[in-house]
Amino acid sequence: MAIIKSNSEIASAIWRMTVSGTPLGRAGQFFMLRVPGALDPLLGRPISICEIDAELGETTFVYQTVGRGTAQFARLLPGQEIEAQGPYGNGFPLKAGRAVLIGGGIGTAPMLQLAKELHASDPTRMIDVYLGFREEAYLEKSFEQYADSVTRNIGGYVVNDVDFSLDATYYACGPAPMLRAAASAADEASANLFVSLEKHMACGVGACLGCTCQTEHGRKRVCKDGPVFDYREVRDAI
């Protein structure tokens, strides 16, 4: 059980919640968050780790209120408990060398912890961040401490801003059309790209087979074998 330290709206319908007492995790992993004891909504909601402060023992989530579960989270107050099961999933691989991070909308959230880990593991590496938003930017400033460049795009196609011909590893999280665009760009430039996928989930641990997707190597569970995949493996699932 985690205790909520803060929970506030940082942009329209975008909330940032910091909790303490959660087991840690790493970039690209997620927790199944749930209001303790609630039977409606019943299932946990998969929410990515946005930022970990290991010293303070705090984990931050950034979530968009889209339905009943996330609306319920937005009503929680500091001091209240939230069930955070996890960390689940494989997380992003930290590849050596230059990194390019692409976040679309709420897909920006997991990119922050990724930038932090990439920077910490090699402070000399070049990190370029591209963030795309429909109307309003958020989290942008937090990237500046880790990244060499932060490019934002409001209302357009963030993937069009990215140069895929660099000698770098590309990481992307965002809506399916954005991931598809990134995949075709990566194809053309023969770039290495890792994508984080989203599927409706019931268990989050790999037991219910509710989130499986077709991959080059048979069916895989997004919650357990993913959510991060080499884009070539999950072409048909994006």
Partner 1 sequence: MQSNPLELTLCGIFLKNPVIAASGTFGFGHEYSEVMDISRLGGISGKGLTLNGSAGNKGMRVYETPSGMLNSIGLENPGVRHFVEHEAAYMRTLGPAVIANLGGHCEEDYLEGARLLNNADIDILELNISCPNVKAGGMAFGMLPDTAADITKKVKAVSKHPVMVKLSPNAPDLVAVARACEGAGADALSLVNTFLGMAIDVKKKRPVFENIYAGLSGPAILPIALRMVHQVAHAVNIPVVGMGGITSAEDALKFLMAGAVAVQVGTMTFADPNAMLSIIDGLAEYCAQEGLANLQEIVGII
Ligand X SMILES: Cc1cc2nc3c(=O)[nH]c(=O)nc-3n(C[C@H](O)[C@H](O)[C@H](O)COP(=O)(O)OP(=O)(O)OC[C@H]3O[C@@H](n4cnc5c(N)ncnc54)[C@H](O)[C@@H]3O)c2cc1C
Among 101, 162, 191, 211, binds ligand FES (CB under 6 A): 211
Rounded least distance, CB 225 to ligand FES, Å: 9
Which residue's entry shows tokens 């895929």? 164
CA distances from 89 to 48, 149, 168 (A): 10, 28, 24
Question: What 8-state DSSP symbol labels residue 197?
Answer: -
Task: Report yes or no: 108 and 197 within 8 Å, Cβ to Cβ.
Answer: no
Q: Does 176 bind partner 1 (CB under 8 A)?
A: no
Asked if residue 82 binds partner 1 (CB under 8 A), the reply is: no
CB of 124 to ligand X, least distance (A): 29
- Nearest approach, Cβ of 89 to ligand FMN (angstroms)? 19
Site for ligand FES in 216-235 (CB under 6 A): 221, 223
Q: Decide: 209 and 229 in contact? Cβ < 8 Å.
A: no
Return the C-alpha torsion angle 16, 22, 26, 29, nearest 10. -70
47 part of the interface to ligand FES, by CB under 6 A? no
Minimal distance in Å, beta carbon 217 to partner 1?
A: 13
Q: Per rule CB under 8 A, is residue 54 in the interface with partner 1?
A: no
Cα–Cα distance for residue pair 98/234, rounded to 1 Å: 23
3-class SS of residue 230? strand
Sign of CA dihedral 72, 26, 105, 211: negative
Per-residue binding letters, 174-203, with ligand FES (x by CB under 6 A): ---------------------------xxx
Contacting residues toward partner 1, per CB under 8 A: 34, 39-44, 83, 85, 200-212, 219, 224
